[in-house]
Chains A and B, each alone.
Chain A
Amino acid sequence: MTVTAIPLDGSVAPAGSAPAAEALKETRFVVPGISCAGCIAKIERGLAGTAAIKSARVRFSGKTLTVTHSAALTVPDLVARLAGLGFDAQPIAAAAAAGGGDRESAELLKRTAVAGFAAMNVMLLSVSIWSGAAEATRSLFHWLSALIAIPAIAYSGRPFFTSALSALRQRRMNMDLPIAVGLLLVTSMSLYETATHGPHAWFDGAVMLLFFLLAGRTLDRMVRRRAEDGVRSLVRQRANGARVRGADGALRWLPADELAPGMAMLVPAGERLAADGCVTDGIGLVDLSLLTGESRPVEARVGDTLPAGALALTGPLTLKITRAGDDDTIGEMSALMEAASQSKSAFVRLADRAAELYAPVVHILAALSFAGWFFAGAGAHQALLIATAVLIITCPCALGLAVPAAQVVACGRLMKAGILVKDGSALERLAGVRSVIFDKTGTLTRGQPVPQGLGALSPLERAALLGLSQASAHPLSAAISAQLQADETTPVIADDVREEPGEGVSGRVAGAAARLGKPRGHGSGTAVIFSLAGWPDRIIRFEDSLHTDAADTVAQLRSAGLNVSILSGDDSAAVERLSGALAVDGIAGARPAEKLAVIRDQQAAGRAVLMVGDGLNDSPALAAADASMAPGAASDVSQQAADIVYLGTGTRQVVEALRTARQTMRIVRQNIGLAILYNALAVPLAMAGFVTPLVAAVAMSLSSLLVVGNALRLGRAK
């Protein structure tokens, strides 16, 4: 037997033995630790072994787990049980779990399959016609083609028809309008030809075109979905609920949207606040770096108000909720971000800009060839046939594939490098930026304090310091221990250790009294004082360390002709040191609204901006910038705001993404050039009346292959 027995707590055991008729609930979790087949088996079997859980299913691609369980089992119970199995799990909010995108890609896939089926069968019939099928057979085959093609076009072409209609309503031009008009004209013309037993029907061209275009779109959608999956598996920052003390004194876990002002919320060390609150009990350190960008932990005492998203480093803290839900600090930031992102949706993609010129030209050419042939005395029927040929040969098949094909290959390549592109137009916007703005903490720097000048201490002091710092869980003590252990210092064990929250830790090391704690009046910056009996007091300062590749990244961005600057919410001394070290402009102490203003200024000056940031305080700026990137360790709001999320530490991903974006746009422009060249050759032929359905089929396939082949070069390029 492989089913692991998990001790059930008192509240669950009766539910397990209850009849199956009881209400079932479905909860989804993100489990970042899922990495192999063993994990899948362990989780699914470990959970399914009990009666309270009806089913557990892991979806590996998004690292999510869907559990169907009895309503008596609460979310923290499930999280605790997963923790018992060795997996860290975060519940996903119901809205995010709905997964509307999945349905969209399934829908596209269906339409592509129908178009593919129709294209294959109609082409089969067309080949027999081109091979010289006789009168009655040709008519039969044309009718069969119509029977297959017309329902297929009606079903598969719907995305194009609806998009064209909405563009018409807004009096705008997009790529789908010429496609929809072309499809409709060609289909009705072919139907007329079939009914009058004419020699040429264009059903094959119409369905093939549809298939190529849908294939491009499906690929695009699938790549984006993979990126979304990747991003979703990273989301973990905001606590999805909190333990609340009820009137009877018992602790209950409530999801974030059920929290209300006035409730008493208990936050243990290591958890994030789910709502804004005022500390009523306990003293501890909180990390506000996600909100303020400031890396230094802040001390929280009774009476202090803390924002949602703050991380309790020591604890537990009891807070009275002051604001919850959409009113809290994170909610406010989201509202600011939403307003800022309006400008981005106004961006018109290159392909659509091309379509704006392209569509009228094509339709005018088709009309001209009709008029030309008609007045030259060819008859309305003959003239209409030639106009149809012009329409189908110019239908932007290659143009429609030019952008998605290049984008799909580029996104695939970036994904291998750990860079997830969330938005289809992101690469295009990224390629156009002229200025890069970095947030400081967590992007250029590690966001962790590193003690300075430990090497100047004597070996005895170092050993005593390590002994004392190891006895404390304070983040600054931990930073000192990590640094000393890296230098292979052997600790002297400290006895009599007493830790006073907010003051420091003291004890005896080899008989001498020692204390590591808060200094009094030492100037700006983070520091601690270390006193050992018999030695002078030492002040240990902390600095946030730069990523090793930061200087290199800045140099490379500069040589690519970009203007680099730092925009931080941190204090000015820290930003000055950093901007001095990297020789770039720096703005310190910027609040979220000020960051937004800086970006707006640059945009007003005509420079497209790339914002790289991780904090919640950066999210409005990320949303407003022309393109934005966030590291995988960023807050989930920032990851949602950013176009591109990159994994791993360091900054070189920014350079890689920019380089790929520029290469992609070069390929896209080449592809559009190829499409124009193809049209320049094909249109005169069509207007002269030399194009038959056979010629159109060959020309369309060749131009599409050419464009896709050119895009594939991106995957190989170094």
Chain B
Amino acid sequence: MNGLALLIPVALGLGIGALFAFFWALRRDQFDDLDGAALRVLIDDEDDEITTVASAAPHQRAGD
């Protein structure tokens, strides 16, 4: 019975937590543009200089 008193609130709490996370995401329009979100990962970062330096390094190593 002691186990139940602990586990049931924990299980319900986790469920309610997930539910509120979902509500939050919904309100922030996270599901508004699913196709667009899939494409946005392909967009390079604004800061060109940093990305070119970072991506140039492995190339040099590969060339060595």
Contacts and interface: CB of A to CB of B under 8 A. Distances in A.
A608 to B, nearest CB: 36
B18 interface: yes
B44 to A, nearest CB: 8
B34 A61 contact: yes
A113 B22 contact: yes
B40 A113 contact: no
Contact of A113 (B4, B23, B41): B23
Contacts of B31: 106, 109
A228 to B, nearest CB: 14
A124 B8 CA distance: 10
Interface in A139-158: 140, 144, 148
Interface in A56-81: 58-61
Contacts of B58: none
Contacts of A59: 32-33, 36
Interface stretch (A36-44, A337-345, A381-389, A563-571): A36-44
Given A1-B48, A109-B26, A117 B15 contact: yes
A322 interface: no
A110 B34 CA distance: 17
Contacts of A113: 19, 22-23
A173 to B, nearest CB: 34
Interface string B7-36: 010011001101100110010000111111
A121 B23 contact: no
**Chain B contact residues: helix, strand, loop or mixed:** helix
Given A41-B43, A61-B34, A61-B35, A106 B15 contact: no
Contacts of A38: 43
A38 B44 CA distance: 9
A170 interface: no
Given A106-B26, A121-B15, A40 B40 contact: yes
A114 interface: yes
B39 A36 contact: yes
A174 B44 CA distance: 53
Given A2-B46, A61-B34, A109-B31, A37 B15 contact: no
A120 B26 contact: no
A45 B44 CA distance: 12
B42 interface: yes
B23 A110 contact: yes
Contacts of B48: 1-2
Contacts of B42: 37
A304 interface: no
Given A117-B15, A117-B18, A121-B11, A40 B36 contact: yes
B23 to A, nearest CB: 6
B11 to A, nearest CB: 7
SS class of chain A's interface: helix, strand, loop or mixed?
A: helix
A98 B62 CA distance: 53
Nearest to A125: B8
Interface in A571-600: none
Contacts, number: 56
Given A113-B22, A117-B19, A102 B43 contact: no
B8 A114 contact: no
Contacts of A45: 46
A36 B35 CA distance: 10
Contacts of B39: 36-37, 40, 60
B40 A144 contact: no
Interface string A108-122: 011001100100110
Nearest to A107: B26
Contacts of B22: 113
B32 A102 contact: yes
A124 B12 CA distance: 11
Contact of B33 (A1, A2, A60): A60
Nearest to B37: A60
Given A40-B43, A121-B12, A144-B8, A58 B36 contact: yes
A41 B34 CA distance: 16
Contacts of A110: 23, 26
Nearest to A144: B8
A148 B19 CA distance: 13
Interface string A20-41: 0000000000000000111011
A102 B31 CA distance: 10
Contact of B35 (A1, A60, A144): A60
Contacts of A41: 43-44
A278 B6 CA distance: 81
Nearest to B39: A37
A175 B41 CA distance: 44
Contacts of A124: 11
A58 B46 CA distance: 17
A38 B36 CA distance: 11
Given A61-B34, A121-B11, A37 B16 contact: no
Contacts of B11: 121, 124
A198 to B, nearest CB: 21
A41 B44 CA distance: 9
Nearest to A62: B33
Nearest to A105: B31
B37 to A, nearest CB: 8
Given A2-B48, A148-B12, 20 more contacts: A2-B46, A37-B39, A37-B41, A37-B43, A40-B43, A41-B43, A58-B36, A59-B33, A59-B36, A60-B36, A61-B32, A61-B33, A106-B31, A109-B26, A110-B26, A114-B19, A117-B15, A120-B15, A124-B11, A137-B4
27 contacts: A2-B44, A2-B48, A37-B39, A38-B43, A40-B39, A40-B40, A41-B43, A59-B32, A59-B33, A59-B36, A60-B35, A60-B39, A61-B32, A61-B35, A102-B32, A106-B31, A110-B23, A110-B26, A113-B22, A117-B19, A120-B15, A121-B12, A121-B15, A124-B11, A137-B1, A137-B4, A148-B12
Interface of B: 1, 4, 8, 11-12, 15-16, 18-19, 22-23, 26, 31-36, 39-44, 46, 48
Nearest 4 CB-CB pairs, A to B?
A60-B36, A37-B42, A37-B39, A41-B43
